[in-house]
Chain A
Amino acid sequence: MSEVVVIGAGLGGLMAACELAGAGLPVRLISQGEGSLSLSNGTVDLLGYAPDLVWDPLSRINQIAPPHPYQVIGSDNVRRAVAALTSHLPDGYLVGQASQNQLVPTALGAWRPTALLPASLAPPQPKDQSRWLIVGFDRVKDFYPKLVAANLSRTKIPGGGRVTAIPVRIDLPDNPGLPGGDVSAMTVARAFDQPDFAAAVGRQLAQAAGQAEADAIGVPAVLGTAGHDAWRQVSQAAGRPVFEIGLVPPSPPGFRLNQLLLARARQLGVRLATGARVTGFQANQGRIVQLTTDAAGHGQTYEPTAVVYFPGGFESGAIAMDSTYNLAETLFDLPLAGLAPVSQLISPSYSPNQTIFQVGVQTDKAMRPLTDGGEPVYTNLYAGGGLLAGAIRWTEQSGEGIVLGSAMAAVRGLLDGIGQDLEPKLAAAHGRRTQLSSSHPGQTPNWTDGAP
């Protein structure tokens, strides 16, 4: 059987590629660059606000007001997708549940809802009078322990009461990889990849927490670039629960997740072509039969059985506006929904709620983009993720849910479409927790993971 081509290496493309390869299909993953995973904090947001705070995302997904991508995706696909994602990651890597949101602190000391999250980012259940030490590290930018602690301490927690957050700054131990001056979160995280360094910081934390009589410790999310080894080492030496608080992009927890999914895709035999933008295609009788990239020299052509298109949205150039305010999907020229005069799409006020972000592609239940007449544009083209119309993902905190759910719906639609009953195989693949041979020392953690 000839290959399925997945376009885009964000969370959506990676998930779809892993699922299809897990079902036994030959898969090629083409991406111009990396997706937005390493810009995120690795949390799995399904639905945070609708528009009020949501506690039970899974059951709220089917009730959301139209038009919204969740209407075609449905909660069942989101539930399956979360289970699939978990199965592609080390045991215990993600904690939490699709059916219940929890609150986590941000780098501004606000509480925000999310459904699942990397274990290292999960604080203990906040209780009235919990004493949390909020630690800043010298040289780690964009994290102000006093600000975080003050905001946390003054915000009521669910069930009443407030945590008592105590700010402190500590100097990191000298390390040749950690110069003075302007360093990025990733540079600090690399120092934590060294077990001695991680343990030394853990001991500093133990001392500071002892003095403050704190029962948990929040630190900026710089505990290593690979898996949760560094977090475990720090926690062990600190002798109390340690949790990371997400930083501005690029964020080490998002980077770790990206690494894990890339390694998983490699392990499943996905053929990666990175740095190539798909710039052209040919269709025949309503099917995409050829794709062309801008690879150096002569470009590359591929003849896929089916195409899974997860190119992101405006942020990645998949939807663009020209100088006459015309909006277009840039590769297949897919019909866009949500169009309106520009004055209605872009508000002059500085607000994240710009209607323009609702513009996107509409699909059927199999995630095939539709013409204005409601027919699939191409019968073997499946699309989702940031490309979909109808949601401002960062406002409602639904980004990962829409991406994952649409990837699952596209995979199932595709398997149906090529007339192969591969779903049992897919289910079996999820059950089979293969051990990842460590082909990336220093980057891929031990494939079984758990809380310290």
Chain B
Amino acid sequence: MNLSPTLAGHALARASLDACVKCGICETRCPVMAATPLFPGPKFVGPQAERFRQGLSVDRSLDYCSGCGTCTLVCPQGVKIAELNAQARAVMKAHHMPLRDRLLGRTVLMGKVMSPVAPLANAVLRLGPVRALADSVVGVARQAPLPVASVQSLGRWLAQRGRSRANGTEVSGPDDQTGCEPDAVGRESGAAKRGQVVFFHGCAGAYFEVETSIKAIEVLEYLGFEVLVPAQGCCGLAQQSNGLFKAASKSVLKLSRALRSAGPDLTIVSASGSCTGMLKHEARQIMGVDDPELADVSYRVRDIMEFLAELDAQGELPHSFQPVDATVPYHAPCQLKGQAMGLPALEVLSLIPGLTVTESGQACCGMAGTYGLKKEKYAIAQKVGAPVFEVFRQAGASLGLCDTETCRWQLRQGTAMRIEHPVALVHQAYGLGTCLATD
């Protein structure tokens, strides 16, 4: 692959490089540079090396960039550092893409294969020898956190719920071992007082983190929205971050069509913080996909906590929250922060009486999509994550919060705590049955 500077996204990012004044602020914040001497840092591999690339690959150290995007956020001059890095990485890997990176890009495939046989698949993935084989042959670190497939996919839950609604019985909500009795009225109302929204579940939300999707849908329905869930595929984020731009572009365009098929002008809501970022930012700014359908979806999509915060700003979010007497640590994932909308989860959770949320204040947990799964990056990713793990452990709670799936896997492994999406606490506080934080 030869990324010509005329490619829309690349031209934009490249145009920003002359704005670099070499202040080094990006270097003070790059979490990978702080964790390993192998990585020369954002200024070096970004605006500096880009001058020499002319569409070619000039340095391999670039591969250590995790793509967390922190550098772009902190650069006062608006240099698109992380975007330049991602584009250059795609060129670098074009001719020798590791099998592992192709596989890690195939999130739907993984989910489809694992979900029906979840107990078996999960058990197999726990087997030492299997992981050792994956480690040496494929290059997925043997200690890396891999997802636990859910027995019930979101599709099955929705179908089952549809059937039981048709014959007048309500299925139970998320499968909570600790389960509180749901006491909120109107959860089954179906009477959508506020119109329709489209739910974008993402691959993980369909197969691995199904509970989060269910809770998000139930919160939306409780608020009076009719939730449409059109058949949808993968956004291609994992392909993008592994440099597979062609496949990723195909995925994201197909997804855009699917999400638009539910109806024009509807708000699209997602509980998958990183996939939302792909639609809003990465697909356009990194891959330079210039397509009216994507632009439309990108404009309409909202992270679930962003959506709730917007409702609140308009005075339309009921504050009928039950107290949650707990202190809970929260980490805002890099891919969420990259959307530059601030931290809506903190704003919404601040409305829940009794609840104290401590923010990690760290740039990245180290996972950065699939970076932390890779054998040669695993140790770095753990080191990047260590300060986040530390904040979580110090909070002295059993529950922690984080908006994206792979980061939750990383935090679960790093802290041995229960890690949930912030919407789970909203679900609990609205009395919808979840009972997570009680201490």
Residues of A within 8 A of B (CB): 28, 30, 32-36, 38-39, 177-179, 182-184, 186-187, 190, 249-250, 255, 262-263, 266, 269, 271-277, 293-298, 300, 303, 312, 315-317, 437-443
| B342 touching A272, Cβ below 8 Å | yes
Residues of B within 8 A of A (CB): 21, 23-25, 27-29, 33-34, 37, 40-41, 72-78, 277, 279-281, 285, 298-301, 313, 337-343, 346-347, 350, 358-362, 387, 390-391, 394
Q: List 7 A-B contacts (CB under 8 A).
A: A28-B342, A30-B342, A39-B24, A178-B37, A250-B28, A297-B299, A440-B387
User: Given A34-B76, A190-B34, A298-B298, does the pair A39, B23 have CB atoms closer than 8 Å?
Assistant: yes
| B281 touching A275, Cβ below 8 Å | no
CB-CB under 8 A from A33, the residues of chain B are: 25, 73-78
| B285 touching A296, Cβ below 8 Å | yes
Q: Report the Cα distance A300→B340, complex, angstroms.
A: 9
User: Given A441-B387, A441-B390, does the pair A297, B339 have CB atoms closer than 8 Å?
Assistant: yes
Contact of B27 among A250, A317, A439 (CB under 8 A): A250
| B28 touching A275, Cβ below 8 Å | no
CB-CB under 8 A from B280, the residues of chain A are: 296-298
Q: Report the Cα distance A316→B343, complex, angstroms.
A: 24
Counting chain A CB atoms within 10 Å of each CB, the highest count among B281, B339, B346, B394 belongs to: B339
User: Given A39-B23, A297-B280, does the pair A441, B340 have CB atoms closer than 8 Å?
Assistant: no
CB-CB under 8 A from A263, the residues of chain B are: 361
Given contacts A28-B342, A187-B33, A294-B340, 9 further A-B contacts (CB under 8 A): A32-B76, A269-B350, A276-B340, A296-B339, A298-B300, A439-B360, A439-B361, A440-B391, A443-B361
| B391 touching A296, Cβ below 8 Å | no
User: Given A249-B24, A295-B341, does the pair A317, B394 have CB atoms closer than 8 Å?
Assistant: no
CB-CB under 8 A from B76, the residues of chain A are: 32-36, 312, 316
| B342 touching A255, Cβ below 8 Å | no
User: Given A34-B76, A250-B28, does the pair A271, B342 have CB atoms closer than 8 Å?
Assistant: yes
CB-CB under 8 A from B358, the residues of chain A are: 437, 439
Contact of B301 among A271, A297, A442 (CB under 8 A): A297
| A250 touching B339, Cβ below 8 Å | no
Quote the shortest CB–CB distance from A227 to chain B (angstroms).
14
Q: Report the Cα distance A34→B29, complex, angstroms.
A: 10
| B341 touching A300, Cβ below 8 Å | yes
Residue of B nearest to A2 (CB): B313
| B78 touching A184, Cβ below 8 Å | no
Quote the shortest CB–CB distance from B53 to chain A (angstroms).
21
| B347 touching A274, Cβ below 8 Å | no
| A439 touching B359, Cβ below 8 Å | yes
| A274 touching B24, Cβ below 8 Å | no
User: Given A271-B347, A296-B285, A441-B390, does the pair A317, B339 have CB atoms closer than 8 Å?
Assistant: no
CB-CB under 8 A from B78, the residues of chain A are: 32-33, 277, 317
CB-CB under 8 A from B77, the residues of chain A are: 33, 316-317
Quote the shortest CB–CB distance from A296 to chain B (angstroms).
4
User: Given A39-B23, A271-B346, does the pair A441, B394 have CB atoms closer than 8 Å?
Assistant: yes
| B28 touching A186, Cβ below 8 Å | yes
Residue of A nearest to B344 (CB): A271
User: Given A266-B361, A297-B281, does the pair A275, B394 have CB atoms closer than 8 Å?
Assistant: no
User: Given A317-B78, A442-B387, does the pair A274, B28 have CB atoms closer than 8 Å?
Assistant: no
Q: Report the Cα distance A272→B337, complex, angstroms.
A: 10
| B340 touching A275, Cβ below 8 Å | yes
CB-CB under 8 A from A28, the residues of chain B are: 342
| B342 touching A273, Cβ below 8 Å | yes
Q: Report the Cα distance A184→B359, complex, angstroms.
A: 28
Quote the shortest CB–CB distance from B333 to chain A (angstroms).
14
Q: Report the Cα distance A441→B395, complex, angstroms.
A: 11
User: Given A38-B25, A263-B361, A297-B280, does the pair A442, B390 have CB atoms closer than 8 Å?
Assistant: yes
CB-CB under 8 A from B342, the residues of chain A are: 28, 30, 271-274, 276, 300
Counting chain B CB atoms within 10 Å of each CB, the highest count among A182, A271, A315 belongs to: A271
| B300 touching A295, Cβ below 8 Å | no
User: Given A33-B75, A439-B358, A443-B361, does the pair A38, B339 have CB atoms closer than 8 Å?
Assistant: no
Quote the shortest CB–CB distance from A187 to chain B (angstroms).
8
Residue of A nearest to B21 (CB): A315
Contact of B23 among A177, A249, A442 (CB under 8 A): A249
Q: Report the Cα distance A381→B361, complex, angstroms.
A: 30
Contact of A276 among B33, B341, B390 (CB under 8 A): B341
Quote the shortest CB–CB distance from A5 to chain B (angstroms).
11
| A275 touching B337, Cβ below 8 Å | yes
Quote the shortest CB–CB distance from A339 to chain B (angstroms).
24
Q: Report the Cα distance A187→B37, complex, angstroms.
A: 9
User: Given A250-B23, A275-B340, does the pair A298, B299 have CB atoms closer than 8 Å?
Assistant: yes
Residue of B nearest to A259 (CB): B361
Quote the shortest CB–CB distance from A436 to chain B (angstroms).
11
| A177 touching B37, Cβ below 8 Å | yes
Q: Report the Cα distance A297→B362, complex, angstroms.
A: 24
Residue of B nearest to A250 (CB): B24
| B361 touching A297, Cβ below 8 Å | no
| A38 touching B28, Cβ below 8 Å | yes
| A275 touching B338, Cβ below 8 Å | yes
User: Given A28-B342, A271-B343, A277-B78, does the pair A296, B390 have CB atoms closer than 8 Å?
Assistant: no
Counting chain A CB atoms within 10 Å of each CB, the highest count among B23, B75, B281, B359 belongs to: B23
Q: Report the Cα distance A79→B337, complex, angstroms.
A: 37
Quote the shortest CB–CB distance from A113 to chain B (angstroms).
25
CB-CB under 8 A from B40, the residues of chain A are: 182
CB-CB under 8 A from A38, the residues of chain B are: 25, 28
CB-CB under 8 A from B41, the residues of chain A are: 184
Q: Report the Cα distance A296→B280, complex, angstroms.
A: 5
Q: Report the Cα distance A184→B23, complex, angstroms.
A: 12
Quote the shortest CB–CB distance from B49 to chain A (angstroms).
14
CB-CB under 8 A from B346, the residues of chain A are: 271
CB-CB under 8 A from B72, the residues of chain A are: 275
